Structures are given as C-alpha cells and as structure tokens.
Amino acid sequence: MGSGWRAEYFFRIAATRPDRFEIPAVAVRREEEIERLSIEHGLDALIDSRRLDELELDFVVVATAPETNADVCEELVERGYAVLLETPAGIDDEQLDRMAKLASAGARVQVAEQYRYQPLLAARLAVIESGRLGPITSAHMSVAHGYHGMALLRAALGVGIDEYEIHTQVHESTITRGPGRDGPPTANELDPSTRTVALISFGDQLGIYDWSDDQYFSWIRSLRFAARGERGELDGYTARYLLDSGEPVEQSLRRWDTGLEG
C-alpha cells in the first residue's frame, strides 16, 4: 500500500532478493502511478485495494501518508491481513490508542521502527543493556528525528509508556546549504535551520531530545548518542565504567567493514 519514498525501499529490497520477497501488486491512489511503477520497477499496480483480496499474500506493507497509516492498517487487519506498518504508527493519541488496542487484541501488526537494529545503534544499546554502566539516569539523543529519536531515547533509558514531563525549546537559525535526498547542493547559499531541544523527565530519569531538521544529510552537523549510568557512561564510540573492584575501564566501539580497501 503506497508508492512514495518509503515504499521505494521495499521495491528495491524485493528486486535485490527475489529469492525471498515477491510483490504481487501495489495499491496506489493515483492513476499515473500505475504506469510509473510498471516502467520503473516492473510492478503491477491497482487503484482498488479491495482487489488485494484476490491475491495470496503473506503480509501487506503499509507505506502511505503519515496521517493515513493507522486507518489503512486498521482496515487491513479487519480484513484478516498481517501488516508491516511503516512509521509513524499514528500522528496523535487517538490513532496510537487504536493501534495499541489492535495489538492487545492479537492483531498481526509489526511497526517498522528499525533504528535500534542498525549495527552501531544496536551495539550502543547492547552496552547499556549489559549493565556495565549501572542503572541509566540520563540519555542524550541527537541521532534521528521525531518518533525515531524518541524510540531510541526510550530504549536507552529503558522506559515504556511511562508518565513524563516535557519542556521544549525551538531555535531558528541559518546554515550553509548541504546535501539532501537528491544529492549535493548546487548553490552556496544559506538555508533556514530549525533545532528542537526537549528535556523529558521520566521520574528520576532524564531524556534529552536534540534534533536539527538538516542533520540527516549535513556535512557539518554531527550525530550524537550518549547515556549516563550510576557506574559509567557511553559517549559516542567510547564507554567508560567502573568494575566491581572500583577500577576504571575505557573501551571503544569499532565497526569492521570488508571490501573498503583495494
């Protein structure tokens, strides 16, 4: 369901691994998408999503607009489908409550919140979950925007649907134009930059959400991940903590990739 930027990832996955994935059809809203998907991806597209019922499907990927994801997912679940739901699962409390009720009722829905499974982020969370840092008291997340950043922040702190208190400030500034989804900049100009910083108290734990809207692709804005516990901290690639004996230890995370040299 859907043919936008997110859906394109699933098209490429299926094209790369035809031994594991097949896309029998794509449900779209606009007639012009039918021809485009056929030419660019060799995929069959249909306007009436009810025609999906004529196919034998293991699951349906929902990659529609953020405001419609929940409605589309709910309809498909009612029709008996398993759903891989692109983020966000909902854009307000009402939609999220409906998704939570579906899950409680045993609906086969998986939300595609994948950041915590990326190798570097998974390694950082593994350090936290190992207990080396002790109980986590605070975390600073400047890795991803919105719900992605909050999912990582909650994972680092180990909190779920807990009560919280939030204080947010938005700072407007300018930044030299950098790359985007379409590649490097074509002009040396200034663009507006919006930075959102939120202090979120989960009882005796503090989460710091910090994100600029140009950060994903920027050559001059870094990503930051930090967590502090009673016996240590993780800052970027470096973990510092105390052994039971009180001896301090410093360790570094290092990623090994093959095929980069030669």
Q: Is the dihedral of CA 50, 52, 54, 58 positive or negative?
A: negative
Question: What order do you get walking across the sheet with 136-142 strand by strand?
Answer: 165-176, 190-202, 205-212, 136-142, 224-229, 232-235, 238-242, 248-252
Before 88, cis peptide (omega within 30)?
yes
The number of C-alpha atoms within 13 Å of 105 and in the hemisphere containing its C-beta is 11
Q: What is the pLDDT of residue 48?
A: 85
Contact 173, 195 (CB under 8 A): yes
| Residue 143: alpha-carbon gap to chain centroid | 10
Residue 226 and residue 140 in contact, taking contact as beta carbons nearer than 8 Å: yes
Distance CA 47, CA 26 (A): 9
Q: What is the pLDDT of residues 110-124, one digit of tens each?
A: 999 999 999 999 999
Task: Give CA–CA dist 261/256, Å, rounded.
Answer: 12
Q: Are 152 and 210 in contact (CB under 8 A)?
A: no
Place of tokens 């074509």: 186
Please identify every stretch of the chain with a pLDDT value under 70, giving residue numbers as ranges.
262
Domains of the chain: 5-111 (3.40.50.720), 117-252 (3.30.360.10)
Q: Has this prediction a pTM greater than 0.85?
A: yes
Quick one: pLDDT at residue 262?
65
Predicted pLDDT of residue 155: 97
